[in-house]
Every structure is written in structure tokens, then in C-alpha cells.
């Protein structure tokens, strides 16, 4: 069936065109993720920033500073202060240019003053036009010659932030004229003006960022669809052996690996149908030679959380790792980096 393209009210959407099916399917704002607000990172007071009356575009950036790259929550605060100081003291702007910033650990920081407000926002200084747009910037340099890694935690954090911040009725897949160019409602800075921002590494993922953001904004009626991922669908770094002798396993088999100080995790990934509070659970086959501190690294809207579980006991059933706000693409990693002399069991993960 042919899709009929319609133009929604310019008063509401700034002249941006949407497909009818997109506007209907992506009208629900996602839940607010965990955000380090301005007071959290000790932002300076702004001076004379002007407000904007509407919000129709999310523009993606990078700070283009190799020294900005970090996985650390605390170091990220320092980097935000450094960016703000440069923008105010060198560029002479009223505040930090971007509305939100993200580091490679998946941590989110409020940028320009007032960005947490529900309906009144301050214009940024991020895309050359700065009309009805917010700037979402990644700390680091994602373009040659540096090509710093754009992590899944960082990408998910940005998707969840955009899915929450953009108003009801906004579609991640809209497009229209902006600053004299054809620019998507969720797009990279390079589409607005001649620039390499946000860098080749991120530009290559903009299409999937739109998909992830749309998934996080799905209206879904508030009904979560549970997800089980067995070890046969997981991915592995390093050598993970296959076992099947334990009677309390989930499914036909499981994977196991000796504990060691190496970063070689098993990764269980899924896509959640709505953003909500999800319970995350793990299943393992218990035994005396299992680790008592098996480290599960859970991704969620606020970044990642490591949960240590005793796999010597409580096998053969779902054991809760915790509950977090999350949606869209998420994963749980089981690391072998813990007390040596044992094994960790990668069997199954559940989101419900």
C-alpha cells in the first residue's frame, strides 16, 4: 500500500514533513533517563541566553576534542566544565553550546541552561541556525585521524535522551528545509552546514540511531513484551566452552569460561519494545567450581551497572539482577574478570 506523505501544521512542527504512519507511531515521549544535571557537574551560571518557542530537530554533534573522550562518570563532569569554559571564555557565548552531552561510558549530562524544562528551552550555539533545535553532543573525536570508538552504551544513552526530550508528536524520521538545506528531524550537524561533525564513525550510525530513538518512543500501550536470550544467541569474546551436563541449565546447553583478568565477555543483546522499568534476570547452572562474584554488566537508560552474583548457589531459576528504566537496544555482558580459580556460566538472560 502506498504511503501518503502529509505536511503537519507548520505552527506545530516548523514546516517539517512527516509520513503519516511515522507521526502516528512515534508520538509518545520516552521515560526520562538518568541525567547529571548542571548542578551535578558544577556548571557556571549562564549569561543572557535567549529562549526558543518550539522544538522540532535533534542535531547530533561531537566535541572534536580527543582529550574529551572518557568512560568515567566523574571525569565526564570535568570534561563538560572544560567545554563550557571554552565556549564562554574563548567563543564568548552565553553558555555551553550543546543541550546534552554524552561520554563513552553512556553517561548523560545536561548542557545549556534550562534543557531539562518541559516546554521552554534556550537556543543553543551548535548548528549555525539554532532555530527550534537542540544539540546532542558526544564527548570526543569521531573522525579521522582519531576515530575514537563510539560505544553502544553511548549510542543508547543518546537515543534514550532524544526519545525523552523531543516533544509529543515529533518523529525521528521526518525531514524538511532547515538553514537552507534538507535536514532530517534527527540528523548530523554536517547536514546543516559544511562540517565533518559529528564524525564518520557516528555519521555511519545515524540511520540506526533514528530507529533506536523511534523504538524508544513507541506508544506500545504500556505493555512490555518480555525477552529471553539463550546462550546460543549470545556473542563471545575469547574462548568460551560449551557445557551440557548440568541438570539445572536453561535450554540444551550453556557456555563457561575460567575467571581471569581479561576483558573477554559474553554479550546477551535484545531490543525492548517500549521504554519502561524493566526487570533484568539471569539463569545459570550452579556448582561449587562457579564464581561467587560473577560480574554481570547491565546496560540501561542511565548507562551501565555491574552486579556480582554467586553462581555457586541458586541455579536452575531466574535470579534478579535489578530493575532499571530502559528501552530499545540493550544488552547484558557477563565478564570473566573476577577472582581467579573459578568459572563463570553464561546460560540465559531475561528482560520482563
Could you give phi then psi for residue 265, rounded to 5 degrees? -85, 160
pLDDT at position 136 is 98
pLDDT at position 27 is 56
pLDDT at position 220 is 54
The series of mean pLDDT values per 10 residues for the chain, 352 residues long, is 32 40 51 89 96 94 97 96 98 98 96 90 95 97 96 93 90 94 97 97 96 79 79 95 96 96 94 85 97 97 93 96 89 97 98 92
Structural domains in the chain, sorted by start: 5-218 (3.40.80.10), 227-351 (2.60.120.260)
Q: Give the global pTM.
A: 0.60
Cα dihedral 202, 207, 213, 214 in deg (nearest 10): 180
pLDDT at position 4 is 30
Quote the radius of gyration of the chain (alpha carbons, Å). Answer: 22
pLDDT at position 119 is 76
pLDDT at position 219 is 62
Q: Quote the CA–CA distance of 188 and 123 in Å, as a whole number.
A: 17
Amino acid at each position: 500500500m502506498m504511503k501518503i506523505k502529509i505536511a503537519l501544521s507548520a505552527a506545530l512542527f516548523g514546516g517539517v514533513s512527516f509520513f503519516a504512519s511515522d507521526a502516528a507511531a512515534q508520538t509518545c515521549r520516552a521515560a526520562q533517563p538518568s541525567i547529571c544535571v548542571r548542578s551535578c557537574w558544577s556548571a557556571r551560571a549562564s549569561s543572557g541566553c535567549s529562549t526558543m518557542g518550539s522544538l522540532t530537530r535533534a542535531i547530533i554533534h561531537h566535541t572534536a576534542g580527543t582529550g574529551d573522550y572518557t568512560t568515567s562518570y566523574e571525569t565526564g563532569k570535568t570534561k563538560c566544565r572544560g567545554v563550557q569554559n571554552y565556549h564562554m571564555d574563548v567563543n564568548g557565548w552565553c553558555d555551553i553550546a550543546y543541550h546534552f552531552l554524552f561520554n563513552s561510558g553512556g553517561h548523560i549530562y545536561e548542557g545549556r541552561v534550562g534543557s531539562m524544562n518541559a516546554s521552554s528551552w534556550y537556543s543553543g550555539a551548535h548548528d549555525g541556525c539554532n532555530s527550534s533545535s537542540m544539540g546532542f553532543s558526544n564527548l570526543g573525536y569521531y573522525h579521522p585521524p582519531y576515530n575514537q570508538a563510539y560505544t553502544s552504551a553511548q549510542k543508547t544513552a543518546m537515543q534514550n535522551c532524544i526519545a525523552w526530550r523531543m516533544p509529543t508528536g515529533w518523529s525521528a524520521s521526518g525531514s524538511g528545509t532547515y538553514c537552507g538545506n534538507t535536514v532530517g528531524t534527527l540528523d548530523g550537524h554536517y547536514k546543516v552546514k559544511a562540517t565533518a561533525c559529528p564524525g564518520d564513525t557516528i555519521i555511519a550510525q545515524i540511520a540506526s540511531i533514528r530507529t533506536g530513538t523511534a523504538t524508544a518512543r513507541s506508544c506500545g500501550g504500556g505493555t512490555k513484551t518480555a525477552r529471553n536470550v539463550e546462550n546460543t544467541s549470545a556473542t563471545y569474546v575469547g574462548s568460551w566452552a560449551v557445557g551440557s551436563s548440568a541438570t539445572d541449565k536453561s535450554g540444551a546447553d550453556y557456555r563457561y569460561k575460567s575467571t581471569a583478568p581479561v576483558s573477554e565477555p559474553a554479550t546477551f543483546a535484545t531490543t525492548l519494545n517500549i521504554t519502561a522499568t524493566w526487570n533484568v534476570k539471569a539463569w545459570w547452572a550452579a556448582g561449587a567450581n562457579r564464581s561467587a562474584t560473577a560480574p554481570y554488566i547491565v546496560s540501561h537508560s542511565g548507562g551501565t551497572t555491574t552486579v556480582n552474583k554467586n553462581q555457586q548457589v541458586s541455579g536452575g531459576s531466574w535470579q534478579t539482577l535489578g530493575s532499571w528504566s530502559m528501552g530499545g537496544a540493550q544488552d547484558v555482558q557477563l565478564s570473566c574478570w573476577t577472582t581467579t580459580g573459578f568459572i563463570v556460566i553464561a546460560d540465559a538472560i531475561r528482560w520482563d
